[in-house]
Amino acid sequence: MLWKKNSSRRPGLRAMTSDLRTRLLLMLVLPLCVLALVGVWLDYRSADEAAGQHDQRLVRLLPALADSVLAPPIHDNDPPLLLLAPPIEDFLRQNAGFAAYSVRDTSGRLLLGEDWVHSGVPTTQAPEFHSVEFGGVTYRVAAQRGRTGAGELVVALADGSDPRQKWAQQLLLRVLLPNLVLLVAAGFAIHWAVRQAFKPLVGLAEAVERRSPRDLSPIDEAASPDEVRPLVHSLNRLFALVNAQAEGQRRFVADAAHQLRTPLAGLQAQVEAWAMMAKAAAPPRASFPDFDRKMPLAHEDRAQGAIVLGVDQIEKLRNATRRTSQLAHQLLALSRADARSLDAQPPQRVDLKDLCESLLENFLDAATGKGLDLGLDVQLVHVTGHGWLLRELLSNLVDNAIKYTPPGGVVTIRCGLRQGRLGPPRPYMEVEDDGPGVPESERTRVLQRFYRVPGAGGEGTGLGLAIADEIARVHRAALTLGTGPQGRGLVVAVVFPL
């Protein structure tokens, strides 16, 4: 079964690496194609510039060819008298086999030179250029109409060494074919190189796939290739974060189970004691079922099986029940304060003044019953966040203050704007009491889950400040612990970002 599972994953891995190879191949080959086209264009421009120079040379030689016609023919059917000028002789000698000339009258009739060196009769005296194919060679022909010793004639020069014509003929063999071979060879070389380069990555992917979901041990970076070592380092960091998160969840579950065990054990002990008392106080029953159905028990008989509970026992049962209920409520609030579970819940505009006033009403009876002065000092201020979470945060702070402040003490709820050292004022809310406070050395630890200051009174669970700190971090706020203005008590402040 394991082999089938791994083999089913292999096609996906191969498809991924093949797609990456294809993309890299295209990314490398396409620039080569662009460079090849640029090379062709530059080669053509170079040939075009050289051809332009040849055209200018032919233009400069045309007047010398016209001057070579010295006189009209002696007889009607004879050609004009021609004596080639030295520049024309040099041109024909240097390009023997690839140069020719012709002299025609204004009607296009050939008088001197080669008949294949032809062109249309120019209508102006400006030189004209065109190409003529002869003997498998493409010639550049320059023709001009002008005055000669035999009258107005048309002279033409043909040059078969024009680099632009040669470039056009040899384009396939000299440019396109070599570039095509180069691109194909480069494609194969790049494909092989990319495949070799991807082998470490494929091996790492297969090693990760073979791992168990519970195996979060780090991968040996020293044994990994240099190419994938940064990726291995990032994977090890991710494994460490996931392992730490899983360990935190396991520790939280263990701590929650331990904390729930204490009140539930006390509650069970009380109930077991009362059950034993009830069993011991119950009178023995006669084994006469018919008689029992016919004769009802007297009132005093029923009273003998009753249990009378003292006030202290009732208080123990109530305290254990309340503690269990509060702990379950705090555990639920702590799980809801997880930032990942709030991604789907859009934040809202929360009125801190209204929130503080509503919590004052909720805790007023508890504070009055303990003899505390619960006060309010609020200003109108709004923040963006989750209202039910902020209510839970402030509720935990007020509950802690009432729980640990001795009778006759003062608890104050505040909210408003506070000027910081830098920047504009920021929204805040705080709870101040004049109870025993928290030593400065313990202020970091009391924000941990299930931690209580040694020797602290009351029956707290050590979750109130941890929940408040978790909710503050969800809202990107800063929760700080300080000492009251009289040097005693505790001030818990939550300062929100702008």
Distance from C-alpha of 62 to C-alpha of 155, rounded to nearest angstrom:
7
What whole-number distance in Å separates Cα of residue 278 and Cα of residue 348? 55
Collapsing DSSP states into helix, strand and coil, what is residue 43?
helix
Cα distances (angstroms) measured from residue 298 to each of 282, 284, 291, 294:
14, 14, 14, 12
CA-closest candidate to residue 160, choices 65, 46, 62, 51: 51
Q: Which helix (H) or strand (E) holds 245?
A: helix 229-281
What distance in Å separates the CA atoms of residue 127 and residue 220, rounded to the nearest whole number?
A: 80
pLDDT of residue 5: 39
**CB distance 411 to 372 below 8 Å:** yes
| DSSP helix, strand, coil percent of the chain (3-state; round to 5) | 55, 15, 30
State the pairing for strand pair 348-351/382-385.
Answer: antiparallel
pLDDT at residue 417, as a whole number: 93
pLDDT of residue 433: 92
b/e code 394-404 from CB counts within 10 Å (16+ = b): bbbbbbbbbbb
Strands 373-378 and 410-418: parallel
Please tell me the distance from the alpha carbon of residue 261 to that of residue 404, in angstroms, as a whole number: 23
What are the residues whose beta carbons fall under 8 Å from the beta carbon of 9, sequence distance 6 or more? 209
Q: 436 and 424 in contact (C-beta within 8 Å)?
A: no
pLDDT of residue 45: 67
Q: Take residue 134 and report the two structure tokens written for it.
A: 């002869």
Burial-class residue 405 by CB neighbours within 10 Å (0-12, 13-18, 19+): buried
Closest to 259 in 3D by CA, of 314, 329, 312: 329
pLDDT at site 412 = 94
Query: Rounded to whole angstroms, how far apart are CA atoms 333 and 327?
Result: 10
Burial 204-226 (b: 16+ CB within 10 A, else e): bbeeeeeeeeeebeebeeeebee
pLDDT, residue 292, reads: 46
CB within 8 Å of 102: residues ≥ 6 apart:
110, 112, 113, 114, 115, 117, 118, 155, 156, 158
Say what the alpha-carbon torsion angle 383, 387, 393, 398 is, to the nearest 10 degrees.
90
Q: Could you tell me which residues come within 8 angstroms of residue 351 by beta carbon, excluding any fewer than 6 positions away?
A: 380, 381, 382
Predicted pLDDT at 338: 55
Cβ(140)–Cβ(58) below 8 Å: yes
- Give Cβ neighbours of residue 464 (< 8 Å, ≥ 6 apart): 330, 396, 397, 399, 400
pLDDT tens track of the chain, all 498 residues? 333 334 444 555 555 556 666 777 777 777 777 877 777 777 666 666 666 777 888 888 888 888 888 888 877 778 888 888 898 889 888 888 888 999 998 888 888 989 888 877 888 888 888 888 888 788 888 899 988 888 889 999 998 876 555 555 555 566 667 777 877 887 787 777 777 777 777 777 777 777 766 677 787 777 776 767 787 888 888 888 887 777 766 666 656 656 666 676 777 677 667 767 666 665 555 444 454 444 444 444 444 555 566 667 666 666 666 667 666 666 666 565 554 445 556 788 999 999 999 999 999 998 998 999 999 999 999 999 988 889 989 988 998 899 888 899 999 999 999 887 777 899 999 999 988 888 887 888 888 776 677 656 556 666 778 888 888 888 889 999 998 877 888 999 999 988
Calpha distance 46→53 (Å, rounded): 11
